Structure 1
Amino acid sequence: MGRPRFTPEAHERTSVPGVATGLAVTGMGGDVLFIEASVHDGPAGLTLTGQLGDVMKESAQIALTFVRAHAAELGVDPAFLDRAIHVHVPAGATPKDGPSAGITMVTALTSLATGRPVRSEVGMTGEVTLNGRVLPIGGLKQKLLAAQRNGLTEVFVPLRNEPDLDDVPADVLETLTVHVVGDVLDVVRGALSPAATTAAAA
């Protein structure tokens, strides 16, 4: 049969904390988009790379502000975020824009700050507000087709996009567990790997 046309890579990419799998729409249809976050010592600030447009840059700022403001609920040490933070969206030669990576950015930053990797089978899409509401996005059908094609089995989508699930082929929905969410805290709780127990960490 030759080499597979698509090689699922979410498992490898999300094996370390700070990487989350988003769902996007391109001129070629749906695709997965990896959001990578890292931190290093230096003046507190946010660096963004990956040829991001203004709306996507604003989404990253909102995501960081939300994680800082809700550190206690997310299990994050606030001091961890008072450093130099870098958010990168690979495929750097491809311009990217739009607000629908908001919940993915919150998840990636929380994963980084808690040391808990994002579960490899999970993808997500949704705009996030400063108070954590998940707003609707476009292209849901194409995004879920991409999730299935890339080997994901669980997706988080905005509650207000629930009617759009009627347009998604039944055979695609049969392979995906779709969580409709209105609060980004529910995304983070469901997407992150369980925290290591004290015994396991010892």
Structure 2
Amino acid sequence: VYIHVPEGAIPKDGPSAGITLLTALISTFTGIKPKAKLAMTGEITLRGKLSPVGGIKEKILAAKRAEIYDIVLPADNQNNVNEIDAKYIEGMRFHYFNDMTQALKFNLEY
């Protein structure tokens, strides 16, 4: 599968959309919808592990502005969340995973 993400109005940098793209692909091929109001980020290694990514604070605050309160993150990014002042993430739920299979089971509605 080849995914082309051209330059456009929204800057893109790094592999942090890995779990998001995989969820979209699996959803497309199986017809299983992803959960609504769910944000996700994380790099996927060649062995299927979810690796930490940067910009966690900014991504979480952007999700909150969009009224998305459930966030899927690599387990290794938990320390980044813990560094955010609690008043900014009040009411948000963080779901941490170590591998893509765990994350996919959570992300997709069964």
Paired position in structure 1 for 2:45: 129
Q: Deviations over 1:76-104 (max 9, x none)?
A: xxxxxxxxxxxxxxxx3334221111111
Identity %: 37
Paired position in structure 1 for 2:100: 184
1:96 and 2:23 equivalent? Answer: no
Alignment root-mean-square deviation, CA? 1.5
Whole-angstrom distance in 1 between the partners of 2:12 and 2:66: 19
Whole-angstrom distance in 2 between the partners of 1:187 and 1:47: 21
Q: Deviations over 1:36-64 (max 9, x none)?
A: xxxxxxxxx5251432xxxxxxxxxxxxx
* Residue 64 (structure 2) aligned to one of 123, 136, 148: 148
Report if the CA contact (8 A) 1:148-1:175 is conserved.
no
Distance 1:191 1:47, change over 3 A: closer
Structure 2 gap segments, 5+ residues each: none
1:50 and 2:6 equivalent? Answer: yes
Paired position in structure 2 for 1:163: 79
Distance 1:131 1:50, change over 3 A: same
Whole-angstrom distance in 2 between the partners of 1:47 and 1:162: 29
Query: Aligned residue pairs: how many?
Result: 110
Whole-angstrom distance in 1 between the partners of 2:45 and 2:62: 25
Whole-angstrom distance in 2 between the partners of 1:47 and 1:104: 13
Structure 1 gap segments, 5+ residues each: 1-44, 52-91, 195-202
Whole-angstrom distance in 2 between the partners of 1:166 and 1:93: 31
1:118 and 2:34 equivalent? Answer: yes
Ranked by relative contact order (alpha carbons within 8 Å, sequence separation 6 or more), the top structure is 2
TM-aligned CA deviation for residue 174 of structure 1: 2.4
The letter of the residue matching 1:50 is P
Q: Deviations over 1:7-56 (max 9, x none)?
A: xxxxxxxxxxxxxxxxxxxxxxxxxxxxxxxxxxxxxx5251432xxxxx
TM-score (norm 2): 0.89
Within 5 Å, give how 1:51-70 maps onto structure 2: 51=7
